[in-house]
């Protein structure tokens, strides 16, 4: 009996220590990022077979979100075709450049509050008069990204009032604009701003128009078995909004040229 009494404090101490270690080390926030997003959402290094996230808006926001949760971020780069399955099967906790409209089964996932807006804008050479309405695009050759949808401009293409020219990347899209293959291009403000920052000389030859084509909120899609709940993530997002951290990060990726 005395032996049991002596062993009990040791056993309880061991259990306390295990519990204490577990509480001090919360699970990492595993963040999936789509390699198809490109700059400025993600900046990748390494090989095509093993890309590594090294910068971009997704990394800055992911780092801040993990810090607000009191944990460490862990990033997994996903091909576009693996994004849906990875989040649905909880291989990652969250994907944070997301909107329900972009997912095949959004009802299977959790959704946080908005992080930042995804804004589609128009850019042309500086000699094109300001475009403020969709009907002013009539007669123009319009540069787009292959595979993307442009509902607000579809009527012009269907009625042959404008010409659609598709490229696979923003840099190719802008090259087409500068050599006159297109008159105006449509893309997200973030991608256009990233191009402008990387090509300052060429950026002086173009301008962003006042009109906003579309605005969609981006948020975190949360896996069904995520280690972090929607409520916890929303609490962290609210804190980043309160301190102005998200606004400060987002401002660094916005178009800085002539609007």
Residue 176 lies in a domain: yes
The DSSP secondary structure of 106-136, one letter per residue, reads: GGGSEE----EEEEEEEEEETTSPPP-SGGG
pLDDT of residue 3: 44
List, for residues 214-232, the tens digit of each pLDDT value. 998 999 999 999 999 999 9
Question: Rounded to whole angstroms, how far apart are CA atoms 171 and 32?
Answer: 24
Question: Do the domain assignments include residue 3?
Answer: no
Quick check: is 2 in a domain? no
Where in the sequence is the domain holding 160, given as residue range(s)? Answer: 119-215
pLDDT for the residue 81: 85
Q: Does some domain include residue 17?
A: no
Same domain, 70 and 179: no
Q: What pLDDT does 21 receive?
A: 47
Residue 257 lies in a domain: no
What pLDDT does 30 receive? 98
Residue at 205 is within a domain: yes
| pLDDT confidence of residue 259 | 43
Per-residue confidence (pLDDT) for residue 156, from 0 to 100:
95
Shared domain check, 111 and 37? yes
Let me know if residue 225 belongs to a domain: yes
* Peptide linkage before 40 cis (omega within 30 of 0): yes
Q: Find out whether 251 and 151 touch, Cβ atoms under 8 Å.
A: no
203 with 239, same domain: the answer is no
The pLDDT tens digits for 100-123 are: 988 999 999 999 999 999 899 999
Residue 6 lies inside a defined structural domain of this protein: no
Looking at the fold, whether 40 and 110 belong to one and the same domain comes out as yes
Whether 228 contacts 66, CB under 8 Å: no
Q: Provide CB contacts within 8 A for 249, sequence distance 6+.
A: 57, 60, 61, 64
Inter-residue contact 231 to 237 (CB < 8 Å): no
For the chain, 259 residues long, the average pLDDT of each consecutive 10-residue run is 46 50 79 86 83 92 97 93 94 95 93 94 94 94 86 93 90 93 93 89 93 93 98 98 95 71
Tally of structural domains, the chain? 2
* pLDDT of the residue at 48: 75
Q: Are 48 and 79 in a shared domain?
A: yes
**Do residues 249 and 64 lie in contact, with contact meaning Cβ atoms separated by under 8 Å?**
yes
* CATH number where 240 lies: 3.40.190.10
What is the distance between the alpha carbons of residues 91 and 217, in angstroms, rounded to a whole number? 24
Statement to judge: residues 209 and 123 lie in one domain: yes
Q: What is the largest CA-CA distance in the chain?
A: 95
Q: Alpha helix locations (H) across the chain?
A: 2-24, 57-69, 80-88, 154-158, 170-178, 189-198, 200-203, 230-242, 245-251
């Amino acid at each position: 009996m005395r032996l049991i009494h002596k062993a009990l404090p040791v056993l309880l101490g061991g259990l306390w220590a295990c519990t204490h270690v577990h509480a001090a080390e919360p699970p990492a926030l595993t963040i999936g990022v789509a390699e198809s997003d490109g700059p400025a959402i993600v900046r990748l290094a390494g090989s095509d077979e093993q890309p590594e996230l090294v910068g971009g808006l997704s990394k800055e926001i992911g780092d801040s979100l993990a810090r607000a949760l009191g944990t460490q971020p862990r990033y997994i780069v996903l091909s576009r075709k693996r994004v849906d399955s990875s989040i649905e099967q909880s291989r990652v906790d969250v994907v944070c450049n997301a909107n329900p409209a972009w997912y095949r089964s959004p009802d299977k996932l959790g959704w946080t509050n908005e992080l930042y807006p995804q804004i589609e804008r128009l850019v042309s050479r500086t000699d094109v008069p300001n475009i403020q309405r969709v009907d002013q695009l009539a007669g123009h050759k319009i540069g787009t990204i292959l595979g993307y949808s442009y509902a607000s401009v579809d009527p012009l293409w269907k009625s042959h009032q404008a010409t659609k020219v598709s490229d696979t990347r923003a840099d190719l899209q802008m090259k087409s604009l500068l050599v006159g293959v297109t008159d105006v291009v449509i893309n997200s403000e973030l991608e256009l701003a990233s191009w402008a920052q990387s090509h300052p000389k060429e950026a002086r030859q173009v301008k962003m128009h006042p009109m906003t084509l579309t605005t969609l909120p981006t948020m975190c899609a949360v896996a069904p078995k995520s280690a972090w709940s929607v409520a916890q993530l929303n609490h962290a997002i609210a804190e980043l909004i309160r301190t102005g951290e998200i606004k400060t990060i987002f401002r660094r990726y916005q178009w800085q040229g002539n609007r």
